[in-house]
């Protein structure tokens, strides 16, 4: 597997030899899996500390749900949800904090509060000022592929050539980022599992991930508790499987394993403690 070194602020993340785990903290009332569980200041901070203690290498905090059919929230509401949490957690944990947002002003305030990575699911398309901010701050950024918007992306998504279209899009956004003054070493690509994709699309992406890793950037994968896992299990076992079902966790582990073995450098997950032990074995196999 290709290896990369992310050096920024006071952090150094070595990617490739071991899987980097990004822990998910949704400070929202409506995220698809854990919405509402951590949408108070106290519960969010407590969960952030737990994810760090469980072994997360990055903590990804978001204040606007990107689940299918989600309605956007105002900039002020998003700021109110995430800034106090980031300010406190940045003083309590010693891992980098990522801000999951498409708004440059939210990202800017999050960086001022202690965040040091930007996770932009729109790949700078929603707010072009985001690229200037990343270039100025010289920090890592995640650029993701999404077909449509969270509100529309799961309405009959279709592709003429799935892997070519996703790979070509991510390549073009990375080139745009570099043109805007962002260093290549700071760019991370995410094919966007579940963002404008059918079950089959998600499986093909995982199975053919090498087409994306061949672009020469670190790759992030986020299959955790996604509906394609629930739908496959529900159909195979002829029983309704929801996001909190233990079998969804098992399915997530399988998707994480396949992603890592096919070249993923970072996995974005809810269950950090379980995934941490799991990746020790997968990394040992892939490095054998």
Q: What is the DSSP letter of 69?
A: T
Q: Where are the beta strands (DSSP E) in 132-245?
A: 141-144, 187-190, 220-221
- Known catalytic residue at 226: yes
Backbone region of residue 121 per phi and psi (left: phi > 0; alpha: psi in -120 to 50; beta: other values): alpha
Nearest CA among 121, 112, 57, 49 for reference residue 79: 112
Give 98's Cβ-side CA count (13 Å radius). 27
Nearest-angstrom CA–CA distance, 89 and 158:
40
Nearest-angstrom CA–CA distance, 270 and 252:
10
- Known catalytic residue at 185: no
Pick the catalytic residue: 81, 197, 225, 226?
Answer: 226
Pick the catalytic residue: 81, 268, 274, 276?
Answer: 268
* Catalytic residue set: 226, 268
């Amino acid at each position: 597997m290709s290896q990369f070194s992310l050096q920024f602020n006071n952090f150094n993340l070595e990617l490739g030899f071991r899987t980097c785990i990004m822990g998910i903290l949704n400070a929202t009332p409506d995220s698809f899996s854990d919405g509402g569980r951590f949408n108070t200041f106290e519960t969010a901070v407590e969960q952030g500390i737990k994810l760090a203690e469980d072994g997360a290498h990055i903590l990804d905090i978001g204040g606007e749900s990107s689940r299918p059919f989600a309605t956007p929230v105002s900039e002020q509401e998003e700021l109110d949800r995430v800034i106090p949490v980031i300010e406190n957690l940045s003083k309590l944990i010693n891992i980098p904090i990522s801000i999951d947002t498409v708004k440059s002003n939210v990202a800017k305030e999050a960086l001022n509060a202690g965040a040091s990575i930007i996770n932009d699911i729109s790949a700078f398309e929603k707010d072009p000022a985001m690229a200037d901010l990343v270039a100025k701050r010289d920090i890592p950024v995640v650029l993701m592929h999404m077909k449509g918007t969270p509100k529309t992306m799961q309405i009959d998504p279709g592709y003429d050539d799935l892997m070519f279209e996703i790979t070509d899009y991510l390549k073009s956004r990375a080139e745009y980022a570099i043109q805007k003054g962002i260093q290549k070493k700071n760019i991370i690509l995410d094919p966007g599992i579940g963002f404008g994709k059918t079950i089959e699309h998600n499986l093909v992406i995982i199975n053919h991930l090498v087409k994306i890793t061949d672009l020469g950037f670190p790759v992030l994968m986020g299959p955790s508790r996604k509906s394609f896992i629930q739908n496959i299990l529900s159909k195979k076992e002829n029983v309704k499987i929801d996001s909190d079902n233990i079998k969804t966790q098992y399915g997530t582990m399988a998707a994480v394993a396949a992603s890592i073995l096919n070249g993923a450098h970072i996995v974005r997950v809810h269950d950090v403690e379980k995934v941490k032990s799991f990746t020790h074995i997968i990394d040992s196999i892939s490095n054998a």
